[in-house]
Structure 1
Amino acid sequence: MLLKQLTEAMGPSGFEDEIRDVIWRRVKDSVDALYTDVLGSLITEKSTSSQGPKVMLDAHMDEVGLMIVHIEDSGLLRFRAVGGVDPRILVSKPVAIGADRIMGVIGAKPIHLQKPDERRQPLGFHQLYIDIGAVDKEDANRVVQPGDVAVFTTKYGEIGDNCAKGKSFDDRVGCGILTEVLQDSYALPLIGAFTVQEEVGLRGATAVAHRVQPDIAIALEGTICFDVVDAPGHGQGTILGHGPAFTVFDGLTIADKRFLDFMVSIAQKNDIPYQFRRVRGGSNDFGSIHQTRNGVVGGAISVPVRYIHAPAQIISLDDYQNSIRLVKAILHELAAGAWTDAAASSL
């Protein structure tokens, strides 16, 4: 299954080789051209000789992870975060290190040995380590070196009412949408960009946008979903199962209202449920893309992800499928000139 392959592949920021290979195999027979850039982003092209606006669909391949920075004499591994990882959720979590998937467990001082004031304080990275069962530093060095990266080991699985759990829906869910969308044909020039290093600064998307110079761009993302017990309405971000989410305002972007209204109208026309992302924090690759060269019109479509950036995350498969439907419908409308008509009427 596509989402299983995508979420279980390793690919923290700067180390996207494995996930890139998975995607390459999935899309190579559905596109006209396929290549990588210097940073490692995977770029696809379809129907580039067609008339119409050049559209770039973006999904970042990288996930948050951990990097080994020091090996203690005891053989325990010190690490730091690659991307936004909350240290409070890490204790006792299993991880896989490097291409050989060396297994380890994140440890800390047992609660039995903590002083009362220590128990009241959340653990920081300096209090955590990864235990791979090594007897000493020399033993650990045989299989792990500083600079190696680790990811969580959660397996993909479907649960509850058409939901799924996995380790890296941010943004393998966007990679899945883009992969599915590329299976169809569209009467316009289409660039599919699977980008690198989003979690550490939107770096891959910046380079790709400068290279391909799109007229329109849409970032496909997994986004904050905090719809659990006692979550205030304005702080929920999104709600699981309520459809793909449009970004209005985030840390780097204020949506182009004309294009936002256009995307909303396509959702309504096709009876696709949708919602608006209701928190300002964070951003996505469109925050970088829309600032390139003379500016790029477009926006972001996101799938709500509960427990985002955590070892185990949850999505609604209905939201995922509706996002695929929405993106395909938008592309067909763009090919038919609907956006040109909508933009002209708003002037």
Structure 2
Amino acid sequence: MLETVKTLCALDGVSGTEDSVRAYIKSRVAALSADVRTDAMGNLIVFKKGRKTPSKSLMLCAHMDEVGIIVTGITEDGYLKFDFAGGIDRRVVIGKPVFIGAHKVFGVIGNKAYHLVKRDERDKIPSVEEMYIDIGAKGREEAAKLVSLGDTGAFDGSILEFGNGFIKAKALDDRVGCAALLELLETDLPVDCTFVFTVQEEAGTRGAFGASFSVRPDIALIVEGTTAADLPSVSSAKRVCSLGKGVVIPFMDRSTIYNRELYTLLTSLADKNSIPWQTKTYISGGTDAGAVQRSRAGVMTAGIAAPLRNLHSPSSVGCVSDFDAVYKLAEVFLKEIGERY
């Protein structure tokens, strides 16, 4: 599981440009006896038969895209103007390296030099309009040969294992979910299942909405990463969940009230199989579940997630034991669905 997570996180797949992530997953499933297709949105949809065909169709879903930047302009001096693709905290991007476009042009995000900052500006977070990306170009013409408007940029993908089972990487949200689905696909499945690797989740859960109409599931499990906020500066009432305490099984977030029957099933399966789990103690965030649940006449939808610190930043932090718990719970969920339906 860990090696798959690391491989996926090293790939760039900002919302709308998930090609390299999709290509890698597609290469891994090519040898399987599975039906593989890519829809008009770019979702990768993989159906694999299991030992049983249930009466209710099942879909597992994880998103391939990550947050990043998108180029919106080039100045006369050769600097790039940009906006964010996905929700990013402006405080964490200044001075961070990015790789832009298909040719991975290197750049560094900057803003006004500190000695020019006025006293009343020092406690303010610069707006994205005040920032720029330096790609080392001498002027607009030179920069335009390297980068085009609309190109996306991903943060530096360096990966580091540290501490007691922790990992730092970009795009842990949601390459952890993709890794869990991919590892499950490579097993002998207990039940027929459609695995959907979605696009543009960070830009408004756009891929999942179309995929849900295409796949037409009765039951869906969304496998995600979720914000932990278990930091000294955050009060206990707002910490959401914690690293190292197992898989997160949410009952609600800002886009979904999860199916109560499936929520109860997941928590009981975790207890029965000694899988450490927790729930969100602060309602926050939203996932593909919101789009899936509201598709067609409605879908029975549940979610599981790995808790992550510094979500939507160049340096997300996760705990390997939590990743393993996510995989294990998804595995026993598939088995239970096969026995129930």
Question: How many Å apart are 1:35 and its aligned residue?
Answer: 0.7
**Map of 1:124 onto structure 2:** 127
**Map of 1:161 onto structure 2:** 164
Q: 1:36 aligns with which of 21, 38, 52?
A: 38
1:45 correspondence with 2:47:
yes
Q: Decide which moves more: 153-162 or 133-142.
A: 153-162
2:212 partner amino acid: A
Aligned residues: 338
1:113 correspondence with 2:116:
yes
Q: 1:224 aligns with which of 218, 223, 227?
A: 227
Question: How many Å apart are 1:101 and its aligned residue?
Answer: 0.7
Against the structure 1 CA distance between its residues 327 and 29, is the aligned structure 2 distance closer, same or farther, given a 3 Å change threshold? same
1:170 correspondence with 2:181:
no
**Map of 1:26 onto structure 2:** 28
Q: Decide which moves more: 226-235 or 46-55.
A: 46-55
Q: Is the 8 A contact 2:51 2:190 kept in 1?
A: no
- Distance in 2, matches of 1:132 and 1:187, equals 51
Question: How many Å apart are 1:187 and its aligned residue?
Answer: 3.2
- Distance in 2, matches of 1:143 and 1:230, equals 41
Normalization by structure 1: what TM-score?
Answer: 0.95
Q: Decide which moves more: 275-284 or 301-310.
A: 275-284
1:292 correspondence with 2:295:
yes
In structure 2, runs of 5+ residues without a counterpart are none
5 Å-filtered alignment, 1:90-239, equals: 90-239=93-242
**Map of 1:15 onto structure 2:** 17
Q: Is the 8 A contact 1:47 1:188 kept in 2?
A: yes
**Map of 1:68 onto structure 2:** 71
1:15 partner amino acid: T
Q: Is the 8 A contact 2:52 2:338 kept in 1?
A: no
In structure 1, runs of 5+ residues without a counterpart are 341-347
1:19 partner amino acid: V
- Distance in 1, matches of 2:214 and 2:282, equals 31
Tell me which stretches of 4 or more aligned residues in structure 1 moved more than 6 Å: none
Structure 1 SS opposite 2:47:
strand
Per-residue CA shift, 1:19-60, capped at 9, x if unaligned? 111111122223411110000000000117942122100000
**Map of 1:261 onto structure 2:** 264
1:99 partner amino acid: A
Per-residue CA shift, 1:210-229, capped at 9, x if unaligned? 11111110000000110011
**Map of 1:345 onto structure 2:** none
Per-residue CA shift, 1:51-77, capped at 9, x if unaligned? 212210000000011000000000000
Identity of aligned residues (%): 36
Per-residue CA shift, 1:318-345, capped at 9, x if unaligned? 00011111110111111111xx5xxxxx
Q: Is the 8 A contact 1:224 1:304 kept in 2?
A: yes
Over the aligned positions, Cα root-mean-square deviation in angstroms equals 1.2
Structure 2 SS opposite 1:288:
helix
Q: Is the 8 A contact 1:186 1:335 kept in 2?
A: no
Structure 2 SS opposite 1:217:
strand
Q: 1:59 aligns with which of 54, 58, 62?
A: 62
Normalization by structure 2: what TM-score?
Answer: 0.97
**Map of 2:255 onto structure 1:** 252
